[in-house]
């Protein structure tokens, strides 16, 4: 780390550090707070072409390179009883998972697949039977390939109707036993990764030289997809409120990926760049949801490339999220990038539009993260102060480590302690955070890393035909924390240096 970044880093820590006091336990959290862990359908279930499931864009994308795929994954489709049992033994209070659209509705719209329906009903029943609260994500990167082929998926407004019909089936069939729904998983990173950078399914881009951009338009599609994601969420939310909420009494939220963002230097330019980055990364989705329109800075920079909400759409989007789901892993520095006036709008993408450079802190990279609890606390403070203190669920947080058989994942335990402590600080200072899900329950097929690195509390031996699960140190640590016997020291300043 360079001197200049160290200086700004120290000043940030001093501002953010509250008076960390004594050790805490699970019992220091509000009574109805939920602690759990998460998976998603394509990463956990396997059985990709069994019992009537058809391919999603993620199946297609993962089969186009050598990083592995979710054909078998953890075989959760067949092993769900075993996995729910180990969740119960771990003491999980909640489980976050997603519903595979093409397992439930193989043609994207129309007839249901009875075997898919039975699988999710059985899974939910098994969870309830063990006293575990289900938190269901409707869309986690796995659009039916048939809808992508038919009209381009999320870049066409036809998706709004099809997504709402899929949501309707889920509310109707599962809503008596599911009280927590997230419509869209990390919508901002999905739109950026899938339509600006081409690194996530369905892999559209036009500017990223590192991947083969054979289809897409990085200067327009991320914003079109983002707009349709918001409208699809709002439409599903409206339906839930009209048709189901009074009877089922659940809540429905949208989710975004939130980096901690901190200026690289204390220059005015880097300060302004960091505010702009907050607007591009988070405000893009949260300002419409909370205030009914996009951030001014995005409208100014993007001009006609940013879709416009009609008055009616704005009203429908505003207030459509009962809570904000947050996916948070790490904190990055932001520095202003030099203006590139020669870059035509048609050659821009999300990052050149945002006009900042992002710098990982310490040893962090796309595949490893340093433990930076103060960055997490600052995200929760920012959400509280800038968006009227919305109810929040932390839907993912966790540490990736090389996937191997080392069960002594003490770095993961240290990371988790720091982040849970940071969250407690934010709650004590007024944040309305209501739940926390570790990513992930067991080692999964990972979005970027395939099977090379993993986040599980349980190790999965992917070379073993039986895909044996074995608890890591982090699993027994979590159990002890959740049963109140493990006391945790609050995060210290040195934990982030
Ligand atoms: C605690 O909340 C208050 C009110 O929102 C805010 O001014 C203050 O900066 C927060 N403290 C920390 C340590 O974030
Ligand atoms: C890029 O994709 C196109 C279209 O699929 C294909 O024809 C071409 O061979 C690919 N090039 C590389 C370098 O992968
Ligand atoms: C992207 O779309 C814009 C607006 O339609 C157009 O001007 C531009 O040429 C397109 N870029 C590519 C790479 O297709
Ligand atoms: C970065 O990695 C080095 C070497 O593994 C380690 O000694 C150091 O503690 C790490 N730094 C942080 C901030 O984790
Ligand atoms: C994983 O499974 C393979 C095949 O059954 C076995 O040879 C290997 O020892 C197992 N590895 C671990 C760490 O248990
Ligand atoms: C609490 O969890 C720990 C595992 O960390 C376990 O050893 C202990 O028996 C549990 N205690 C109770 C009271 O459940």
Tell me which of 213 and 492 has the higher pLDDT.
Answer: 213
CA angle 416, 412, 410 (to 5 degrees): 120
325-333: average pLDDT: 97
Rounded distance from Cα 363 to ligand 4 centre (Å): 6
- Inside any domain, residue 462: yes
For residue 238, the domain's CATH number is 3.20.20.80
Q: Whose CA is nearest to atom 3 of ligand 4?
A: 363
Q: How far apart are the first and last CA of the chain?
A: 10
Rounded distance from Cα 86 to ligand 6 centre (Å): 14
Q: Residues with Cβ within 6 A of ligand 1?
A: 16, 18, 381, 385, 429-430
DSSP string, 294-319: --HHHHHHHGGGS----HHHHHHHTT
Whether 64 lines ligand 2, by a CB cut-off of 6 Å, is no
- Inside any domain, residue 362: no
Q: Whose CA is nearest to atom 9 of ligand 5?
A: 464
118-142: average pLDDT: 98
DSSP class of 446: B
Rounded distance from Cα 91 to ligand 6 centre (Å): 9
- Inside any domain, residue 307: yes
- Inside any domain, residue 28: no
Whether 466 lines ligand 5, by a CB cut-off of 6 Å, is no
Looking at the predicted structure, is the pLDDT value of residue 5 above 70?
no
Closest ligand to Cα 344: 3
**Backbone angles phi and psi of 304, in degrees to 5:** -75, -5
Q: Supply the pLDDT for residue 39.
A: 98
> Taking a C-beta distance cutoff of 8 angstroms, is the pair 127, 84 a contact?
yes
Q: Supply the pLDDT for residue 21.
A: 56
| Average pLDDT along the chain | 93
Q: From the CA atom positions of the chain, what is the Rg in Å?
A: 21
Q: Supply the pLDDT for residue 363.
A: 86
Tell me which of 491 and 307 has the higher pLDDT.
Answer: 307
Whether 214 lines ligand 2, by a CB cut-off of 6 Å, is yes
- Inside any domain, residue 24: no
Q: Supply the pLDDT for residue 252.
A: 98
Cα gap 164→170, rounded to integer Å: 10
- Inside any domain, residue 1: no
Q: Whose CA is nearest to atom 14 of ligand 4?
A: 370
Joined together, the tokens standing for residue 453 give 């690195």
Residues annotated as part of the active site: 186, 396
- Inside any domain, residue 95: yes
Rounded distance from Cα 214 to ligand 2 centre (Å): 7
The minimum-distance atom of ligand 1 relative to the CA of 378 is 14
**Backbone angles phi and psi of 49, in degrees to 5:** -120, 35
- Inside any domain, residue 85: yes
Rounded distance from Cα 369 to ligand 5 centre (Å): 28
Q: Whose CA is nearest to atom 3 of ligand 2?
A: 214
pLDDT above 70 covers what percent of the chain?
95
Q: Whose CA is nearest to atom 3 of ligand 5?
A: 464
Pocket test for ligand 6, best of 485, 486, 487, 488 (most atoms within 8 A of CB): 485
- Point out the least confidently predicted range of 96-110, 115-129, 196-210: 196-210
Question: What CA–CA distances, in Å, run from 264 to 175, 270, 356, 361, 372?
Answer: 46, 7, 11, 10, 15
Rounded distance from Cα 257 to ligand 4 centre (Å): 25
The minimum-distance atom of ligand 1 relative to the CA of 385 is 5
Q: How many structural domains does the chain have?
A: 1
Question: pLDDT-based confidence at 15, cuts 50/70/90?
Answer: very low
Joined together, the tokens standing for residue 209 give 């030289």
pTM attached to this predicted model: 0.93
Q: List the domain range (segments joined by +) for residue 401.
A: 33-261+291-330+367-476
192-217: average pLDDT: 93
Looking at the predicted structure, is the pLDDT value of residue 13 above 80?
no
Pocket test for ligand 4, best of 330, 362, 367 (most atoms within 8 A of CB): 362
């Amino acid at each position: 780390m360079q001197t200049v970044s160290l200086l700004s880093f120290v000043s940030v820590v001093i501002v953010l550090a509250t008076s960390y006091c004594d050790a805490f336990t699970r019992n220091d959290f509000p009574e109805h707070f939920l602690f759990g862990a998460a998976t998603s359908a394509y990463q956990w279930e396997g059985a990709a072409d069994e019992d009537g499931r058809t391919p999603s864009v993620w199946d297609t994308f993962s089969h186009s390179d050598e990083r592995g795929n979710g054909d078998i994954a953890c075989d959760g489709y067949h092993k769900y009883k075993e996995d729910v049992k180990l969740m119960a033994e771990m003491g999980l209070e909640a489980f976050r998972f997603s519903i595979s659209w093409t397992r439930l509705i193989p043609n994207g719209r129309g007839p249901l697949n009875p075997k898919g329906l039975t699988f999710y009903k059985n899974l939910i029943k098994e969870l309830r039977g063990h006293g575990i609260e289900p938190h269901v994500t409707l869309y986690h990167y796995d659009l039916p390939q048939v809808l992508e082929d038919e009209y381009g998926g999320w870049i066409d407004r036809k998706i709004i109707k099809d997504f709402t019909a899929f949501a309707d089936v889920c509310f109707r069939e599962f809503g008596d036993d599911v009280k927590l729904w997230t419509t869209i998983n990390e919508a901002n990173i999905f739109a950026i990764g899938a339509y600006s950078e081409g690194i996530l399914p369905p892999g559209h881009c036009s500017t990223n030289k590192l991947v083969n951009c054979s289809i897409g338009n990085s200067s327009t599609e991320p914003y079109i997809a983002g707009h349709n994601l918001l409208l699809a969420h709002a439409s599903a939310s409206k339906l839930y409120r009209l048709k189901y909420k009074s009877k089922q009494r659940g809540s429905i939220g949208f989710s975004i990926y939130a980096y901690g963002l901190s200026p690289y230097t204390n220059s005015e330019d880097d300060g302004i760049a960091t505010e702009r980055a907050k607007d591009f990364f988070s405000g893009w989705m949260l300002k419409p949801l909370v205030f009914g329109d996009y951030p001014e800075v995005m409208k100014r920079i993007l001009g006609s490339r940013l879709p416009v909400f009609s008055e009616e759409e704005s009203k429908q989007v505003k207030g459509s999220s009962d809570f904000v789901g947050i996916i948070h892993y790490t904190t990055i520095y932001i520095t202003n990038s030099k203006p590139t006036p020669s870059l035509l709008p048609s050659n821009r993408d999300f990052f050149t539009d945002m006009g900042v450079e992002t710098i990982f802190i310490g040893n962090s990279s796309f595949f490893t993260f340093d433990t930076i609890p103060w960055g997490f606390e600052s995200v929760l403070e920012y959400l509280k102060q800038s968006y009227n203190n919305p109810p929040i669920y932390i839907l993912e947080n966790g540490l990736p480590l090389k996937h191997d058989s080392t069960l002594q994942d003490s770095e993961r335990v240290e990371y988790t302690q720091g982040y849970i402590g940071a969250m407690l600080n934010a709650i004590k200072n007024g944040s309305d955070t209501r739940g926390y899900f570790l990513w992930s329950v067991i080692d999964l097929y990972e979005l970027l890393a395939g099977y090379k690195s993993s986040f599980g509390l349980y190790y999965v031996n992917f070379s073993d035909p039986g895909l044996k699960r074995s608890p890591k140190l982090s699993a027994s640590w979590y159990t002890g924390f959740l049963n109140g016997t493990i006391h945790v020291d609050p995060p210290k300043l040195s934990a982030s240096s």
